[in-house]
Amino acid sequence: MNIALVAHDKKKPDMINFTLAYTHILKQHNLFATGTTGTKINEATNMDLHLFQSGPLGGDQQIGAMIAKNEMDLVLFFRDPLTSQPHEPDIMALMRLCDVYQVPLATNLGGAEILIRALEKGFFQWREILKENDNQKGTKK
């Protein structure tokens, strides 16, 4: 599965600790991250990640594009609700795309832990069915 990892500056330590705790699960999947977050995760865990731009420079939109093409299966976005973000419209658009395209989204550590445990147990097979259905629709056009 394709998993996006994003964290605002004050939440990056939480994301790093989360990825350290769940490296054994995450390393079995394709990981994508915004620039600074992904670099810090890689330094802490040595996991391979595809790095996008930093969030304010378009990284959130790059992840959103993957969601719109049904190429992202799970988004873990540790948001800082107490700090104003200059790219707030991009953040809201990313969250809206998760809702539109049925992509599970966690915006905090508690939600992320539930999703990662569900992923570990194989509870996201429905994402594969959605992708297969999309592929079949694409060949019939």
Which residues are known catalytic residues? Answer: 60
Q: How far apart are CA 98 and CA 138, in angstroms?
A: 21
Q: How far apart are CA 98 and CA 120, in angstroms?
A: 20
Q: Which residue has the tokens 């994508």?
A: 32
Strand partners, 33: 5, 51
Q: Which of 127, 139, 9 is nearest to 70 (CA)?
A: 127
Q: Which of 16, 20, 11 is nearest to 39 (CA)?
A: 16
Is there a contact between 105 and 79 (Cβ–Cβ < 8 Å)? no
